[in-house]
Amino acid sequence: MKAFEFHTTKSIIVERGAAAQLADRIRDMACQSVMIVSDPGVVKAGLLDATLANFKDLNIRASVFADVVADPPEAVILSGIEAAQQQSADCIIGFGGGSSMDVAKLIALLANNEQKLAEVYGVNAAKGQRLPLVLIPTTAGTGSEVTAIAIVTTGENEKKGVVSPLLLPDIALLDAELTLGLPSHVTAATGIDAMVHAIEAFTSKRLKNPISDSLAKDALRLLSANIHTACQHGDNIQARENMLLGSCLAGMAFANAPVGGVHALAYPVGARFHVPHGLSNSLMLNAVLRFNLRDAEHLYAELADVVFPAAAGTPHTRALSLLNYLSDLASELGIPKSLRDVGISEDDIALLAEDAMKQSRLLINNPREIHLADAIALYKEAL
């Protein structure tokens, strides 16, 4: 066995209704001034109401920074840092989807730190000590609550990542009740996003290890067995909880065995056309996996055995069964299945491919090397 390291969130709590008792846990952390980072949709849906009431009951000062948007730009993060400093926040809570949790990570990192946002992009550039941090997902997709990365939209059409163990929170709290009202199309896109995390972690060329493999397989088992139920019967709490846990396990896997080509080609789709991250991954999934089949067939066959436990046949046959299942998923769940469906045309492909080739941090993890000509062909296939 090759030597490897594995890192994850210090404490993971899986409990229905636990978000409404969050202040009790924060009191144990000796925090007095909490800032909750979220988005307008979460606030409007009333998901924060019970949590805020709990803080009020315990006389813990809590404010809400709800300016987060999808694919958050630098301006949102800088505004959040300023808000935290003005309120002398001593604890940051990310409450929402991946964007809210990513913004919360960076606020916790930089609100009490001499470093500036521009100085922490890249791998392990962040220094110092962050504020106490709790992350609470309201979607089952990004796994951000257990990853040491935050993604920022820089400039107009580019994304950069901050990668550092400092971004791992003190507590990740999984409360499936928060996901009960999630619309079907969001459940589908975020669920496929989590599946991509599991698949790319399992096939990662770099840092793949026995722990990440086990987590990726169990994540895919949970996600594939529950995604249809969660989309069609959104009030099924058990399916929702299984999706939330599957997303978390996939997050733990790819936080240690990083993602590859699907994400590299999906990022420009999100950055330039403002397509949600999960949907961007779903749109590129089939083309990239078929491109990788030559070099990852045996790994896809292993994953097929997780989705179809009774499957038989050669590794090639089993691998194809997985790819066929995934290619049908978007249509079955009622979300866009091609780049044309989200307004992208052949005229956009050259620019998307150029942007994708800048994602070297991700491309080096793909099981098959992707060159510019390959990226162009993959975007054409996904049209």
- Which residues on neighbouring strands pair with residue 64, listed in sequence order? 36
* 71-88 average pLDDT score: 96
- Could you identify the residue written with the tokens 């926040």? 89
Q: What is the CATH number of the domain that holds 154?
A: 3.40.50.1970
Cα→Cα distances 310→313, 318, 354, Å: 10, 11, 42
> Do residues 116 and 250 share a domain?
no
DSSP strand pairing (61-65 vs 33-37): parallel
Q: Are residues 209 and 168 in the same domain?
A: no
How many domains does one find in the chain?
2
Extract the tokens encoding 203. 């096939």
Q: Which residues pair with 133 in a beta bridge?
A: 92
Residue 284's pLDDT is what? Answer: 98
Note whether residue 3 is domain-resident. no
Is the residue at 90 inside a domain? Answer: yes
Please tell me whether residues 30 and 56 are part of one structural domain: yes
- Domain residues for the domain of 196 are 187-382
Q: What is the pLDDT confidence band of residue 156, given thresholds at 50, 70 and 90? A: confident
Q: What is the mean pLDDT of residues 165-179?
A: 97
Give the pLDDT of residue 105: 98
Do residue 166 and residue 191 come from a single domain?
no
Residue 322 and residue 281 share a domain: yes
pLDDT tens profile 321-371? 999 999 999 999 999 999 999 999 999 999 999 999 999 989 999 999 999
pLDDT band at residue 1 using 50, 70 and 90 as cut-offs: confident
Residues 159, 195, single domain; the answer is no
- Judgement on whether residues 255 and 332 belong to the same structural domain of the protein: yes
Tell whether the model's pLDDT for residue 222 goes beyond 80: yes
Q: Is the pLDDT of residue 162 over 80?
A: yes
Q: Within a domain: residue 290?
A: yes
In which band, very low, low, confident or very high, does the pLDDT at 97 lie, cut at 50, 70 and 90? very high
Q: 291 and 349, same structural domain?
A: yes
Q: What is the pLDDT of residues 25-65, one digit of tens each?
A: 999 898 999 999 999 999 999 999 999 999 999 999 999 99
**pLDDT of amino acid 157:** 72
What is the rounded distance in angstroms from the CA atom of residue 244 to the CA atom of residue 241? 5
C-alpha closest to that of 260 among 213, 303, 218, 205: 205
User: Are residues 247 and 157 located together in one domain of the fold?
Assistant: no
pLDDT range class, residue 90, cuts 50, 70, 90: very high
Decide if pLDDT at 159 tops 90.
no
